[in-house]
Each structure stands twice: as structure tokens, then as C-alpha cells.
Amino acid sequence: MEKFELHTPSFRGEIVIGEGAAAERLPALVKGQKNFVLTDSRVYALYPGFFAEYFGKDSLFVLPEGEKSKTFENLGKILRAMTEAGLHRTSRLFAVGGGVIGDIGGLAAALYMRGISCVQVPTTLLAQVDSGVGGKTAVDLAGVKNVVGAFFQPCEVVVDPMFLRTLSPREIKCGLGEMVKYAALDREIFRTLKENRDRLTDLSFLSSLILPCVQHKAKVVAADERETGERKSLNVGHTTGHAVELASGLSHGECVLWGMLLETQLAGKYGVTDSAYAAELCSLVRDALRAQPVSRLNFSALGGFAEKARSDKKNEEDGNICMAVAKSEGKWTLFSLPFAQYRAGMEAIIAKIGEQFPL
């Protein structure tokens, strides 16, 4: 079990990682105050014994599973249920689930009485390596993802890989996408993944990388909680990844892999990414894309996905497309291109990939 603190200018939270973390930390965390537990229908159905054991008499709110539940309407319902449960300023919310539950639960905790204590118990690989840590909370509104939200740090994040055994291969693959993102930013993670290319679907191997991924994220968030500088690095592959996500049916993490492949090649062409390193990184990304279930994209059916990159939140007002890209091992930079050049560059890269399809 590993335990460390995440310090931001305004907050100090604990992160506990390891098999058995839930059994070790939850009995103490539920004691001494009124609790409110938020989860989704799938997690609740899979782990009835877990909820009975740790949250027996606490108020429980179960959302239908999936992104469609991350709405302003559901946020209102949760806040209403918290009020009806008679929660106080000293009460605590537990968000037990994937990124959807963590995001909406964290926002409810931020808003209720201007902020109550929140414990994140992430249950997907994506949430354990990424969304459960860092204090970004949000809901979707009017078709726009994460448009209403707040920065709100949980008092503790309990990361227990025990939950991962019930994930589908596609959800594991989704988490792998974010892990490869860390590889583009962190030398050690890059080397470990490269040396274990044949284990990219092996859950025990992936679980062993949760700690370094979370430590990397915690270090970045501690330096730049509000994403004015260093935290932008965590968007590697995400500008193009989001565009692909809007146009395809693949999971978020798989789209981040595609985004990394395309953006690294583009940045390589412009001399922004060192060419030998770009080749090495792309080779790892390709291995991850090929890992089961294979993340196939049919570009000709995607239509003008590059257009979708125009609406990305990370772009500035000058109309350029802004990307965070790896520069060399462990180094990154921001890379902007006027839209016409971005689109032309993407079209040329995709035409080449088309010849090698499926990778």
C-alpha cells in the first residue's frame, strides 16, 4: 500500500493506492460524520457486498451508468437528495465509480453548502490513473462536455485495483490510452511500457503502473492546479483525440491513442518532436492501438473530423489549433497551427496510415 499527499496552494489531500486500500481506509473514513454515497447502476449491481459492508446505513444515490448521466439535471437531483438526507457542512460525500461518478459527485460536494468533504473511490482504470486525482469536477450541458464545473480537491482518493477485475476489455483499453499519455510525459513510464509491450492487456502489469501514473499527475497538479501551465501537458493527444471521439464510436482512451499517433507525426513533420523519439513513441502507441480489443478507425467514414478540432476548449481565440505534444523523452511543449495547415497535415498523415491499415 502506498500513501502520499497531494498539496495544492489551497488544499492538502491524501492518496492511497494498492490492493486492499478500500478495506484499510474506508472504515476510518466513514466514521464520525453523516455520509452520502454516490455510485452508478453497474457498480452497485457488481458490488452489493461492498456497499453493505462500508456504507450500510448511509444515504445512497445510484445514477444510471454512463456519460448520459453526467447532466445538470442529475446534479440537481443529487443536491436535492443531499439536502433531504439532512447533510451538514461536516458531512462527507463518497463518489464510488468511474469518471462520470467522480466528476458529478465531486461537483455536488463542491456545491453543497459551498463545499463538503469528498472521498473519491475510482473503480475504472481511467478513473484510477486519471480522473479520480486532481480535483477537476464537471457535468455536461447543452451537448457540451464538462462545460459546468469547479476545481475541488477530494480529501482522500482511495485507489484499489480490486475493482478492476470486473472491467470489460474495452474499459481496460480506455485506461491504457491514458497510461500511454503518461508515457509521453514521463521517462520511467515510457521505458516500462516499452519493455513490456507484450503485456499491454495484462491487468496485473497495468495495475503496477497505477502508482507511477498517479504520482506523475499529483506532481503536475501540485505545481499547477488551475491548468495555466504545466497541467496542460496532461492534454497530450487530446485535441485530436477529442475530435476523433466526436466522430467515432471508440472510447475516450482509445481516441487519445489515435490523437497521440496523429499529433506526434504532425509535430515530427514540423520539427517540434525529435524525429527518432517520435518514431519510438508512435511505435508504442501503435502497439497499444493493436492491443485487444483492437482500436480500429475507418477514416473514410469519419468525415471531416479535423473540423471538430476547431471547437476544442484548448484552442485560443486566434483560431489556431493548439496541441500539447511530446518533444523528446520526458519533455513536452505546446504546438499551434492555423486550421488550414492542421487539416492539410492530418489529411496527409491519414492518407499514409490508410495504406498501412489496420496499422
Ligand X SMILES: NC(=O)c1ccc[n+]([C@@H]2O[C@H](COP(=O)([O-])OP(=O)(O)OC[C@H]3O[C@@H](n4cnc5c(N)ncnc54)[C@H](O)[C@@H]3O)[C@@H](O)[C@H]2O)c1
Q: How far apart are CA 236 and CA 222, in angstroms?
A: 18
Whether residue 68 lies in the annotated active site: no
Residue 114 falls in the annotated catalytic set: yes
Of residues 70, 92, 136, 343, which has the active-site annotation? 136
* Residue 199 identity (one-letter amino acid): R
Query: How far apart (Å, rounded) are the C-alpha atoms in residues 340 and 307?
Result: 10
Asked whether position 245 contacts ligand X by CB under 6 A, the answer is no
Q: Which stretch binds ligand X (CB under 6 A): 48-56, 66-74, 258-266, 273-281?
A: 66-74
Our answer to whether residue 216 is catalytic in this structure is no
Q: How far apart are CA 287 and CA 285, in angstroms?
A: 5
* Interface with ligand X, residue 40, by CB under 6 A: yes
Shortest Cβ distance from residue 103 to ligand X (Å)?
5
Beta carbons within 10 angstroms of residue 137's beta carbon: 28
Q: CA-CA distance, 26 to 32, in Å (whole number)?
A: 12
Closest approach of Cβ 171 to ligand X, in Å?
A: 5
Concerning whether 5 is annotated as a catalytic residue, the answer is no
Binding range to ligand X, per CB under 6 A, among 163-171, 256-264, 330-338, 343-351: 163-171
Of 211 and 350, nearer to ligand X (C-beta) is 211
For residues 43 and 309, which CB has a smaller minimum distance to ligand X in the complex?
Answer: 43
Of 105, 134, 154, 161, which lies in the binding site for ligand X, with binding defined by CB under 6 A?
Answer: 134
Is 124 a binder of ligand X (CB under 6 A)? yes
C-alpha cell of residue 336:
499551434
Least separation in angstroms between CB 214 and ligand X: 12
Is residue 235 among the annotated active site residues? yes
231 is catalytic: yes
Q: Catalytic: which of 57, 114, 165, 352?
A: 114
Give the residue, chosen from 100, 193, 200, 211, that forms a contact with ligand X under the rule CB under 6 A: 100
CB atoms within 10 A of CB 318: 8
Q: How far is CA 173 from the centre of its chain?
A: 12
Between CA 54 and CA 230 the distance in angstroms is 37
169 binds ligand X (CB under 6 A): no
End-to-end CA distance of the chain: 39
Q: Cβ contacts of residue 352 below 8 Å, gap of 6+?
A: none
Phi and psi of 319, rounded to 5°?
85, -5
Q: Closer to ligand X by CB, 23 or 353: give it.
A: 23
Q: Judge whether 252 counts as a catalytic residue.
A: yes
Q: Indicate whether 258 belongs to the interface with ligand X (CB under 6 A).
A: no
Residue 238 falls in the annotated catalytic set: yes
* From 14, 23, 24, 42, residue interacting with ligand X (rule: CB under 6 A): 42
- Active-site choice (14, 24, 227, 329): 227
Cell 499527499 locates to 5
* CB-CB contact of 139 with 72 (8 Å): yes
Peptide bond into 293 cis (omega under 30): yes
CA quadruple 102, 168, 354, 199: dihedral sign: positive
| Residue 166 CB, nearest approach to ligand X (Å) | 4
- Exactly one of 65, 171, 178, 254 is catalytic; which is it? 178
For the bound state, the minimum distance from the C-beta of residue 96 to ligand X, rounded and expressed in Å, comes to 9
Catalytic residue among 92, 173, 217, 343: 217
Residue 230 makes CB contacts below 8 A (sequence gap 6+) with: 220, 223, 224
Stretch that binds ligand X, among 6-14, 16-24, 53-61, 159-167 (CB under 6 A): 159-167
CB contact set of 201 (below 8 Å; sequence gap of 6+): 169, 172, 173, 176, 291, 292
What is the C-alpha to C-alpha distance for residues 216 and 234, in angstroms, rounded to an integer? 10
136 is catalytic: yes
Catalytic residue numbers read: 114, 136, 178, 217, 227, 231, 235, 238, 242, 252
Residues that bind ligand X (CB under 6 A): 40, 42-43, 46, 65-67, 70, 97-101, 103, 123-124, 126-127, 130-131, 134, 136, 146, 163, 166-167, 171, 174, 252
